[in-house]
Amino acid sequence: MSITKHLSQAQQTALDHALKHGRLVRWPGGFWTYPDCEATEGEWVEGQAKAGRSPKWFVGVQTIMNLVDRGMLEISRSSKIGLVEVKPTGVLPS
């Protein structure tokens, strides 16, 4: 998709994935990705990413929080570890 005015490439891609998949979820280790995203090779130990295992596509928390602050994503679920799911609000930048 094309870049929406005033969004970085990472923000636009994150928003595109949130709109396409209906939500973004947080993997242990702080990786924000879409549900059922494939993982790179590696192993999990007690819920923590080890040996380079991560989603094949992800963004960091700052990208997510920037979109929340702009009203384009909303926090739809949180837990004692922090945010775990965000959904698109339908508000797009002008």
Q: What is the pLDDT of residues 42-86, one digit of tens each?
A: 655 545 555 567 888 999 999 999 999 999 999 887 766 555 778
pLDDT digits (tens, 9 = 90+) for 10-35: 999 999 999 999 999 988 778 899 98
Domain borders along the chain are 9-88
Nearest-10 crossing angle of helices 9-21, 61-69: 80
pTM of the model: 0.75
Q: Which amino acid is at 54?
A: S
- Looking at this protein, which amino acid is placed at residue 64? I
| Closest of 33, 27, 26 to residue 49, by C-alpha | 27
Helix (H, G, I), strand (E, B) or coil at 53: coil
